[in-house]
Amino acid sequence: MSGNSLESVPLYHQSGTRREICHWIAHIKLSRIIIVILLILFIVSLFNHYYLSKVESENQTLDIHRTRSKLEAFDDFTSMKASELKSRIEEMLRIKGSVSNELRDLEAKRQRLQNEVSGFSQRIDDLKQDLLHQQTDLDRLKISVVQAQAAQREAVERNTPELALPKRILINSLPITMLPTMDSRNCRMYNCFDHSRCALTSGFPIYLYDPDLFSIVNSGWDIDGFLRTTIKQTLGYNAHLTNNPAEACIYLVLVGEILSTQAITKKLNYEKMLNVKKLLSLPYWGGDGRNHVLLNLARRDLSVNSENLFNDIDTGRAIIVQSTFKRNQYRDGFDLIVPPILGPPGGDIWQECAQMVPARRRYLLSFQGEMKFNKLSMTTRQIDDAEIDLERLADDENNLDNFIIQHLRDMTSGVTFDKFFIQFECIPATEEQNSGGMALDWSLCGTDSSRKEILRDSTFALILAPINSSYITTSSMQARLYEALRSGAIPVVLGGDQVLLSYSEVIAWRRAAIFLPKARVTELHFLLRAVPDSDLLFMRRQGRLIWERFMGTAQGAVDTIVASIRDRLGIPPLPATQHSSPSVFNESFVPLKSDAIISEAEAEESLGPLEPPYPSPAFKRNYTMMLIHGHEIWNDWVNPFSLYPQLPFDTVLSSDAKFIGSDVGFRPIGKGAGGAGKEFSESLGGNHPREQFTIVILTYEREQVLINSLARLYGLPYLNKVLVIWNSPKLPMEDLRWPDIGVPIVIIKAPRNSLNNRFLPFDAIETEAVLSVDDDAHLRHDEIMFGFRVWREHRDQVVGFPGRFHAWDQNFHNAWNYNSNYSCELSMVLTGAAFIHKHYMYLYSNWLPQAIRDKVDEYMNCEDIAMNFLISHLTRKPPVKVTSRWTFRCPGCPVSLSEDDTHFQERHKCINFFVQVFGYMPLLNTQYRADSILFKTRISHDKQKCFKFI
C-alpha cells in the first residue's frame, strides 16, 4: 500500500480504522502507565529491602556492608552451590576478622592519643600551678626583701640599747664596822640601809646566819625547833640565798618564837631571854646592824600574842620582821609585818581551802574570841599595861569597845533572817586560852578544827582590832586573818583604820577584806547585806590567792619576806628557770633529711614574708616591770618571785608613737596607710612589733603521721622553729628522714612519758607566741596565720580552733560535764591546735598545783583542760575561738586516745576534780568567734580579701 492507501479506503472503513487506531493507542498508553507503576513499585521495594538489610547488617556485623558492593546485596544465594556458599562465608568471616583487627588497632591508637592529650593537659595544668606557686614564692621573697631592708635600716638607726638578761654585779667585801650614829627609832630605808651592797644587777643575794651556830637567845632558852628547821630548809630553796657573806645584800637572823615555859613560871623579862650582846657580836653586824633582818616569827600560843622580843630594845639599823608591833615601835616602810607561820613547810595546800561557792553561807558573820588574860603568865611590864587597859574599860561607861560588844550581841538577837555566830566567851575554856597574853587582846576560842568548821559556814569573819590601841598589829589578829582567808570567809576588820595587815606595802587588802572604823559598828549589818554575790566571790577568790601564795606555807611566807624587801629596793628578781631541751640524737649523729614536700591544696595566696628566725626580745622591762605593774604582779598575777623574759600583759604603745620616735620593729599595714589583702599580707600590722611563733608538737610512736605534719609546714610565714617533744622511750629510727621545711626542727627527748611535757618552758622556745599542735592536727597555712594574727591582739588568752564547753548536769549528778557538741557558747579551746603565751608554760609547770599535774599523769588526759583552767583563773577571761573549725580529722592516722569512750568519761572527772582544787569553776563562757575582716564583704575586683577562704 502506498501512503495514500488510507485515503483510498472507503469512508466507513476509514472511520472504523481510526477507532481501532485510537483504541490501540489508548491501550498502549495504559500499558505504559501500568509498566511505569510496576517499575516504581519494584524499585521502591528494592530500596526498602536494601535499607532494611543494611540496618540489620550494621547491627549484627558492625557495618560489614561498607566493604561490599551494593549489588552483592541482591545476590541470589539460593542458586549457589554449597561449596561456593561455604567459600563465600569463609571470605566474609575473613573480612570480618580483618575489619575487627583494624578497629582494635584504631581504638588502641585512639586511646594512646587520648592519653597523650590528657597528659599534655595535666602538664599544662601543673605548669600553670607551678607558675602560680613560683609567683607566690616570688611575691613572698619580694616581701621578705622589703622586710629585711627595713630590719637592716632599723639596726643602723637604732638609738636605744637592746636590753637582755643583765649580768650580775656583786659586791665582794664584808661590812666594815661603824659606830651607831643615830636613834634606831628614826630608821627608814633612806637613812639606815646601805644601798651600796645591793646593786640593781646584783640579783639581791641574801645570807642566813645558821641558827644552830648563831643563836641570840641566852642559854636555857630555845627557839621553836620546827621554825629553826623549816626556815633553814625553805631558804635553801630560795634562789637568792648565797653562802658567801661578802656578796650578800642582806643578812637574815632567825630569832623565832622562844619556848617560854620557864618565862611563864619565872616571870622573866624578855631582856633575859634575848642576849643583846650576842646580837651585837654577830660577825657581819658591822657595829650598827645595817642590812640585817631579824626574823621573829610566831607559830605557837596564838590564843594570846607572841613575844614582842624587841620591844624597848635597841636593834640598831636592823629591820625587824614579826607579827606583833606596838605603834611607837613600828617603823613604817622599814620594819615588816608578817603573818604567823601556821601552815606546813610547803607543798599543795588546796585541800585546806574551802570551796568558794555558794557565795552566801549559813552565817552572815561569825566571831569567836574572849577578852581575858592571866597574870601568872605575864611579866611585870605586861601586867602593868593590861591593868591600865582594864581600869580604862571599867571606868569608862561609854567605852567604845563595850558598846561594840553589846551592839554585836543585840544584832544577833534582832529581828532578821540573817544568822550570826558571835561568841565572846570561850566555853569550855582550855588551858591554851587561860594562858593569857602580853597585852589585852581577843584570844582565839576553841580548837583549829572547830574554828575552821564555823568559818567555812560564814560569809564574813569579824576581826576586832586590839583593845589596847597602842598595838598596830598582834599575832592573834594576824592569825584570825590567816584562818578567815583559808576558809573563804571574807575578813571584816572592825577598827581597820588603826591596824595594819601583813605585807600591807604590796598587797591590796581592800580587794580581799572590808575595813571599818569601830564607830561604824552600827552600820555593819547594813554594809554586809549590800555586798552583791559577784563582789563576794571576787573578794573570796582574791583572799584565797593571797593565802595560797603568801601565807599558806612556810615556804610562801619566807619567799614573800624576801620579795617584799627586794621590792622596796626596786631590784628585779632572778630569772625564772627554763627547762633544758636535750636532743634525742647524740652529738655525733646527723639525722637524715628529706627534700620531699607534701603538696597540699593550700590556698594560693601570699600570707607573709619568709624570714630567718627572729627571737622575741627578752628581758626588756627588767627595771620597769615592778614600777609599772607592781600592783598587778602582787595582787592579780600573784607571782613576784621570778623575772620572766616577757609577759602577756606588757604595755602597748600608742598608735602615733609607732610613726614618731618609737617605730623600731613595727610593720604597719601599707606603712600606716592601711589597705586590703595585698598590703595586709605584706606586713603584720597590729599594736605590737614584728614577731614570730614557735610550734610545739607532742608525739608518741606515730612517726609517719609526725613527718607528714612537719612537711605541711613548709613555707609557713613567721615560723621561728618547730619543737617536737618526743614522749616515747623508744628513740626515732635512724633511717627516718626529716623534712627540710626552711626552719629548724628541734627533737627534744622528754624526761618521761607525760602529757604535761607539752607545757614545759623549754629554753629552745625563743618566742612569746607558742602554737601547741597535736601531731595529727591538719591546719591550713592561712588558718595558722589568721590564728597568729588574732593571738597578737589577745596575748593573755588561749586563741585556737577546736572549741569545747563545760556543761552543768543538773538532772543526775549536779556536777560539771565536758561537752564537745556544737554549741553557741564555749568555754575552752583545746591546746591540740591553739596559741598560748610562753609565760603560761612557766606557770603551768611551776605554779599550778601539783595535784592537777598528777591527775593529768594518772589519766594521760586533760592537760588541755588544765591549761584553760589556769589561764581563765588568772585573767578572768574566756578563750578566743577562730574560724568555723570545731574539730579535726586526720584520714589514715592511727586511732588516738581521744577516740576511746573512756576518754570523755575521764574528762568529766578531770573538770570536777580541777574545780575542787581551784575552789570554784574558773572557766567563763563566750559566744564570740573571730573571723577575718572583709570575710563576707563585697569588694572591688582589683582588691583582695585579708584571707580568701576564711
Catalytic residues: 864
> Residue 848 is placed in which grid cell?
599550778
State the Cα–Cα distance between residues 883 and 947, nearest whole angstrom. Answer: 11
State the Cα–Cα distance between residues 254 and 214, nearest whole angstrom. Answer: 9
Distance of CA 542 to the CA centre of its chain: 21
- CA distances (Å), origin 330, targets 154, 188, 562: 53, 11, 19
Nearest Cα to Cα of residue 226 among 337, 345, 340: 345
Handedness of CA 633, 637, 638, 643 (dihedral sign): negative
State the Cα–Cα distance between residues 580 and 764, nearest whole angstrom. Answer: 8
> Residue 689 is placed in which grid cell?
612589733
State the Cα–Cα distance between residues 882 and 871, nearest whole angstrom. Answer: 18
Contact status, residue 846 vs residue 945, Cβ threshold 8 Å: no
> Residue 179 is placed in which grid cell?
659606830
State the Cα–Cα distance between residues 908 and 901, nearest whole angstrom. Answer: 12
| SS3 state at 771 | strand
Can you say whether residue 386 is alpha, beta or left, with left for phi > 0 and alpha for psi between -120 and 50 degrees?
A: alpha
Nearest Cα to Cα of residue 620 among 688, 523, 692, 680: 688
Can you say whether residue 558 is alpha, beta or left, with left for phi > 0 and alpha for psi between -120 and 50 degrees?
A: alpha
Spell out a b/e string for 204-242, using b for 16 or more CB atoms within 10 Å of the CB, else e: bbbbbbebeeebbbbeebebbeebbebbeebbeebbbbb
277 contact partners, CB below 8 Å, separation of at least 6: none
> Residue 480 is placed in which grid cell?
584570825
SS3 helix, strand, coil % of the chain, rounded to 5? 40, 15, 45
Which string of DSSP letters, residue by residue, matches 670-704?
GGGT--SHHHHHH---SSS----EEEEEEESS-HH
State the Cα–Cα distance between residues 929 and 908, nearest whole angstrom. Answer: 25
Amino acid identity for residue 172 in this structure = N
Pairing assessment for the beta strands 442-444 and 363-371 based on DSSP bridges? antiparallel
Contact status, residue 551 vs residue 339, Cβ threshold 8 Å: yes
State the Cα–Cα distance between residues 561 and 604, nearest whole angstrom. Answer: 58
Phi (first) and psi of residue 593, to 5 degrees: -110, 150
| SS3 state at 78 | helix
Around Cβ 178, how many Cβ atoms within 10 Å?
A: 14
> Residue 15 is placed in which grid cell?
472511520
Which string of DSSP letters, residue by residue, matches 905-942?
HHHHHHHHHHHHHHSS-----B--EE--TTSS----TT
- Rg from Cα positions in the chain: 47
Amino acid identity for residue 652 in this structure = V
Contact status, residue 294 vs residue 318, Cβ threshold 8 Å: yes
